[in-house]
Structure 1
Amino acid sequence: MGVPAVALAGLLRLAHGCTNLIVTPGASADGSVIFSYTADSGDLYGTLGHYPAGKHQPGETRAIWNWDTGKYLGAIDEAPYTYNVIGNLNEHGLAIGETTFGGNETLGGGEGIMDYGSLIWVTLQRCKTAREAILMFDELVSKYGYVSDGESFTIADTSEVWVMELIGKGRFEKGAVWVAIRIPDGHVSGHANQARIQKFPLRDAENCVYSSDVISFAVKVGLWDSQRPEEEFSFADCYDPISFTGARLSDARVWSFLSSAAADPGFGKTYEEYVLGHNVTASARMPLSIPAGSKISALDLMSHMRNHYEGTVLDSRHDVGAGASGSPFRVRPLVWKAGGSSYVHEREVGTPQAGWNFVAQLRPRLPRAMAGLLWFAPDDATFSVHAPFHGGTTRVPHGYADGTGDALHFSQESAFWAFNSVANFLYPRPGGEAWVQLAGDVLFNASAETDSVDVFIGHSWSAGRWEKFLAVCLFFNLDLAVRWSLGTCLVAAAILLARAREGMTGLGGSPLALPCLVYLPITVFFVVFFCGQHLRGQRSTSVWLDKLCIHQTNMDLKAEQIAALPVFVARSSRMLVLWDETYFERLWCNLELATFARHGGAEKVELLPLWLAPWLLASILSDLLSVTILEVLVHVFPNWSVGPDAIMDIARSVLGHNPALLKFVAWFVIWMISSIVYLPASIPSFFSFRMKLRNHQLLLDQMADFDVRKAKCTVPSDRNAIEQQVKELFKEDHRPMSWLPPEGVDEGEVSVNNRLSQLWLDPLDSFNAYVRGALRENVIRQIGKEPGSVLDPEKHGVHPTRAPNTD
């Protein structure tokens, strides 16, 4: 298509073009915030950068280098503590992407230290949430100045996503003007090298924030008429007016995504004239975000990053550059001339000029180390397979790391060169991208399976292995064993009834009655109890055994894995606690329980005492023994018949005719005989039941008096790391409490500092309260109340209105 000459200047912004596509939690398949970022420039070499977390001394500074040119810009004050950053994601699940829109040329080339790349990575190291990041951007550019062109930023955390647009003040002033809008939940959005925020609410701080001089500065430099109402002010129309290139080569990429995701099936057609560049008035522009028509997954977004306008009016497989094979791929430059006229190639989302790309999946209700997931791939998204990296990642694989090869020197060890080679091989071979996408889908689905665990099993390593084995069998197979044994019994009864109709007087007269109705069902019960996991169909239950994955000799690796353990606990659907007397005494066990408590909830914790399985099995075997003794007696004395009538005949000959006395004596004798038969079996049952009652009481007492500070840790150096993890998990539960002085102490004698320290619940006490309260109540619902007593909070020294002693 011919290009207006006035629009050619706008092509400069596309030299380092990028694309961001955005999905809010309400529009995503799993409730995550999801957005994509592709860094498109032939100058870029796709590696995954890493900034480790660190503590810094007062007065320490940080050097700032221009991210595009490598030029040294100056130094800024370092923060006291910086967070771990992997790529564009940090350990708290905060992720930032960008696209350059350039904007008014008079506002470029300002003086200062901060460029757009440094803004991103300095902020990621200092902030936990999107709202914090926006304020940090403002603080950095206000204090140190801004030297880059206009930028659109995607700033997202696990609960919300914002689009922030910022442009420098050129030679007029130091700093930048900006506006940030929260994308409504349930919406999709995007930006691609064209400012997208037009009018914005001036009095809705919850959903829109902006620099104090965003309008007044525009008036000062002659970009806005001060006589017009502020409510009509449009950031994009003022600082980056729409043009042919802005619509056709930039916003069209956003249009292709919004059209496929829109709830309104007519969205694409409505804005077709705009993206073709036929109507580039401000009133013709697309809204910043629209409601999604269906739920979108991270895998869906990866697929759209390979988009080449297939099936739309911009489908480049049908234009003059497609060739005989209908290729959508074009070499640069975007503008070419023929017959004195200028023409453009379409600028798609998936482009050969990409250095790298990613999909950030920011998941709520997970430990911060794994809340953020960065699906990263080098080179063109069309031919790249995305590998997952958590925000807590502390080492980059060699193939993805800085220093493994470079843009001018091929390396077989480099992931970039591997994907780049595949892409170059497939560009002239149509259809090859389908095979790459299939490989990516397989990896994504396989990662989803390993990313979640059905049951996390926590236990004390000092407990007996046999008891734990029985408990695990009970948890997984008891229900199946009962159903199979009952089914066997019903089938056996049906067969015996059929045999009885053939001439037997009843089941009791059949020698098969006892084996069929007792021994066979119980045998089936035990077989399924111990082996039922093999009978549950195609998908087996995935199980994680507590700290089995933690290295016990390499101390550095051990420390990292301690920090990562909550990742696996929190991704478990259920937690099975194999309780014995030492469980709550183990600090490791408390860490696992605290993690799941925070992310899974008390109702998903199943606390299984190790005495329960032996007690249950002992009861079954004792009953079986009783039946067997009775059957042996019947076979030893086949002519012996004992019943109320026979006993009454004997008693009548001795006591005479007294109906009431005779009936009593007859039943008493039968009870005595039955007791003698059941006595051998009742002895082990008695001791088993007594053990059950004792441990039942002990379990509930331990939970009522629980204190994580009293837990033991085999390696003393592990204690601080583990307790810190527990504090991190429960620090949000710092709730003010009604303060009372310690018993026997006058309120006036207590220092102000001591009093204030007791007004807030320590995170460790929050965890203690959880075990004593919600978790204990859940256990009571599962196994019953304390034997022989009524629950009394005061019995265990629990005073809800008194702050815990912090001394």
Structure 2
Amino acid sequence: MFISWALGGILALLLCLLGPMPAVTSFHADVTGFQGSIPLHCWLMMAGFIGAFLGLLVYPHISCHGSDTCFLDYVCIHQSDKRMMQQGIRSIGAFLAASRELRVLWSPPYLTRLWCVFELAAYRKLNPAGKIVIKPIATDIAVYMMFLWVQLASIGILASWADSDDRVSRSMRLLGVSSSTFIFLFPALAYTARKKHQEDMQLTSDLASFDVKCIQCSNHFDRECIHAAIIEWYGSLDEFSAHIRDVFRFEVIDLMQASGILPAQYIWLPLLPVASLTCETLLGLWTVGAPATSILACFMGYIVALNLLWFPAIAVLSTFAMKHGLWVRNRRCHPFILEVFAVSLLTGSLFMLGAVLAEVATANGVEWIGLWNFLALSVAGWAWGRCWRV
């Protein structure tokens, strides 16, 4: 998605510079060395969004991103012919032993399915050096929903800039758009955050209380075969259950911590529409022939300090707070919906603060821009260093 987003933006940029793509509206810019009206094309935002969406659809069909060979049990094992099914079941160990990676698309019912548990047991026993990747499905859904929400918010912000020559009225419009966006999007954000929180808690809880004897299987023959294989590998069913509750549970926790509270690409992905929005400003300054110092000031104040440093840092802090909760006097904030509301409100306020600081800094010269970049870099270093891997 990142590459296709960039390609879409570059294509739109070239078309705007060469002339075929007209400006949609205008915006009064106030940056170091330049004050005046600049065109807003809007095509960068549109092309970036379309490019990212197409990239998401096309990527699975591109063979150059790595090996496309995998063993997907439901597809690779015959589901209707009993004889062929049994042959597939007997051969599953060989496939697992030869696999470099076991990718688990985790959802709450996963540990209630005996076949899923069997594959975990077989892979770890037959392929102890193999890599296990736990991918909670809810996380991807939440990130893609956030991308859409930020895209809508960016369109609203751009609309609030349109045909505005007065900074005060533009700020009031921006506040109105941001507040409206928060009011409409908060219920969906709260639901998604609560669902992900519950699933994360359920994963660790299910592992801590795991007992293979309590897992049902619709086919009695399959159940007996799986139990026999587990006993052969681990000595007994109780030993296997203890292995899952102890060794494997901590292995899963380490795997999840290794990628941080959220994989870094999931932090950056929802912020792509904001980057497109600020690139629209740079394009407008270039189009009207603004001084190079003005374009550089806008680049350092918005692209570097705001988009690359401040916004991702606030996203990390927000994700950290959603995962670990808000604590007041050694007590976690309850109920959960109140905690989500407080974190969302704080996150929105910090995003707005960053936007205001960027606007003030870019309008007041090199010293202000330097201070703003130093502040953003300090906050980013603290957030990524102290909160991302906790």
The interval holding the TM-score normalised by the smaller chain is: 0.5 to 0.7
The verdict on how the C-alpha distance between 1:776 and 1:705 changes in structure 2, with shifts beyond 3 A counting, is farther
**How far did residue 579 of structure 1 move?**
1.0
1:762 to 239, 242, 248: 239
Query: Secondary structure of the equivalent of 2:259?
Result: helix
What secondary structure does 1:693 align onto? helix
Which position in structure 2 is the counterpart of 1:604? 131
Q: Deviations over 1:74-126 (max 9, x none)?
A: xxxxxxxxxxxxxxxxxxxxxxxxxxxxxxxxxxxxxxxxxxxxxxxxxxxxx
Q: Does 1:643 align with 2:164?
A: no
**Equivalence for 2:224:** 720
Letter in 2 for 1:617: Y
Does the residue aligned with 1:564 lie in a helix, a strand or coil? helix
Question: Of the candidates 763, 771, 774, which is equivalent to residue 248 of structure 2?
Answer: 771
**Partner in structure 1 of residue 97 of structure 2:** 570
Q: Distance in 2 between matches of 1:676 and 1:554?
A: 57
How far the C-alpha of 1:615 sits from its partner, in A, is 0.8
Cα distance in 1 for partners of 2:78, 2:106 equals: 24
Residues 565 and 484 of structure 1: CA distance in aligned 2, closer, same or farther (over 3 Å):
same
Query: Which amino acid in 2 is paired with 1:613?
Result: D
Higher share of residues assigned strand: 1
- 3-state SS of 1:594 partner: helix
Question: Distance between the aligned counterparts of 2:38 and 2:84, measured in 1?
Answer: 70
Cα 1:687–1:727 shift into 2, 3 Å: same
Task: Give the superposition deviation at 1:694.
Answer: 2.3
Q: TM-score scaled to structure 2, two decimals? A: 0.55
CA–CA distance in structure 2, aligned partners of residues 553 and 603 of structure 1: 31
Within the candidate set 537, 560, 579, 2:64 is matched to 537
**Matching of residue 482 in structure 1 with residue 2 in structure 2:** yes
Q: Label 1:492 to 1:718 Cα distance change in 2 as closer, same or farther (>3 A).
A: same
Cα distance in 1 between the residues matched to 2:88 and 2:177: 63
CA contact 1:563–1:725 (8 Å) conserved in 2:
no
| Change beyond 3 A, Cα 1:505–1:559 | closer
**Which of 89, 102, 106 pairs up with 1:579?**
106
Report the Cα distance in structure 2 between the residues aligned to 1:775 and 1:552, rounded to whole angstroms: 30
Secondary structure of the corresponding residue to residue 104 of structure 2: strand
Relative distance call for 1:529 and 1:538 in structure 2 (3 A) is: closer
Q: For 1:227-376, what aligned pairs fall within 5 Å after superposition? A: none
1:506 Cα offset (Å) = 8.9
The one-letter code of the counterpart of 2:242 is D
AA aligned to 1:606 is V
- For 1:761 and 1:595, locate their aligned partners in 2 and report how far apart those are by CA, in whole Å: 16
**CA offsets 1:430-488 (integer angstroms, 9 cap, x no match):** xxxxxxxxxxxxxxxxxxxxxxxxxxxxxxxxxxxxxxxxxxxxxxxxxxx21231344
| Structure 2 residue aligned with 1:592 | 119
Structure 1 residue 515 corresponds to structure 2 residue 57? no
1:698, CA displacement in angstroms?
2.0
CA contact (8 A) 2:4 2:55 kept: yes
1:669 Cα deviation from its structure 2 partner: 8.9
1:625 and 1:673 mapped to 2: Cα distance?
10
How far does the alpha carbon of each residue in 1:225-283 deviate from its partner, in whole angstroms, 9 at most, with x for none?
xxxxxxxxxxxxxxxxxxxxxxxxxxxxxxxxxxxxxxxxxxxxxxxxxxxxxxxxxxx
Could you say what secondary structure the match of 1:543 adopts?
Answer: coil
> Contact 2:101–2:131 at 8 Å: present in 1 too?
yes
For the structure 1 residues 569 and 506, does the alpha-carbon distance in structure 2 shift closer, same or farther, using more than 3 Å as the test? Answer: farther
2:156 and 2:177 in contact (8 A); partners too: no
Output the amino acid matched with 2:220.
Answer: P
Relative to its length, the structure with more helix (as a share) is: 2
Superposition map of 1:441-452 within 5 A: none
Kept after mapping to 1: 8 A contact 2:28/2:165:
no
Deviations 1:638-691 (A, max 9, x none): 4x55534x69xxxxxxxxxxxxxxxxxxx8996455312543344433322332
* 1:383-442 deviation line (CA, Å, top 9, x unaligned): xxxxxxxxxxxxxxxxxxxxxxxxxxxxxxxxxxxxxxxxxxxxxxxxxxxxxxxxxxxx
In structure 2, do the counterparts of structure 1 residues 531 and 669 end up closer, same or farther at CA, with 3 Å as the change threshold? closer
Structure 2 Cα separation of the partners of residues 767 and 693 of structure 1: 22
Deviation at 1:561, TM superposition (A): 3.1
SS in 2 for 1:510: strand
Q: 1:496 to 1:603 in 2, by over 3 A?
A: farther
Structure 1 residue 586, shift from structure 2 partner: 0.2
Counterpart AA for 2:75:
L
1:710 aligned residue: 214
Q: Secondary structure at the match of 1:509?
A: strand
Change over 3 Å in CA distance of 1:539–1:701 after alignment to 2:
closer
**Unaligned stretches of 5+ in structure 2?**
30-36, 262-319, 326-390
Looking at structure 2, the residues matched to 620 and 634 of structure 1 have their Cα atoms a distance apart, in angstroms, of 21
- Pick closer, same or farther for the CA change 1:602–1:615 going to 2, 3 Å: farther
2:197 equivalent among 668, 682, 693: 693
Q: Are 1:616 and 2:143 matched, yes or no?
A: yes
Task: Give 2:184's match in structure 1, choosing from 680, 684, 690.
Answer: 680
SS at match of 1:787: helix
Which residue identity does 1:620 align to in structure 2? F
TM-score (norm 1): 0.28
Q: Name the amino acid aligned to 1:713.
A: C
- Matching residue of 1:788: 324
- Give the direction of change, closer, same or farther, for the CA distance of 1:538–1:693 in structure 2 (3 Å limit): closer
Structure 1 residue 768 displacement after superposition: 4.1
CA shift, 1:611, in A, is: 0.9
Q: Is the 8 A contact 1:607 1:779 kept in 2?
A: yes
The Cα offsets for residues 573-592 of structure 1, whole Å up to 9 and x where unpaired, read as 21111111111100000111
Q: CA deviation at 1:551?
A: 4.0
**Deviation string for 1:607-648 (max 9, x for gaps)?**
11111222111101111111223344555xx4x55534x69x
* Aligned CA distance change for structure 1 residues 673 and 766 (closer, same or farther; 3 Å): closer
Deviation (angstroms), 1:496: 5.3
Report the number of matched residues. 255
Q: Indicate the residue corresponding to 1:254 in structure 2.
A: none
Q: Structure 2 vs 1, CA of residues 767 and 701 (structure 1 numbering), >3 Å: closer, same or farther?
A: closer
Q: Which amino acid aligns with 1:486?
A: A
Distance in 2 (CA, whole Å) between partners of 1:767 and 1:699 is 12
Deviation of 1:553 after TM superposition, in Å, equals: 4.9
Structure with greater Cα Rg: 1
Are 1:706 and 1:772, in contact at CA under 8 Å, matched by a contact in 2? no
Secondary structure at 1:567 match in 2: helix
The Cα RMSD (Å) is 3.8
Q: Helix, strand or coil: the match of 2:323?
A: coil
Give the 3 Å change call, closer, same or farther, for CA 619–594 of structure 1 in structure 2.
same
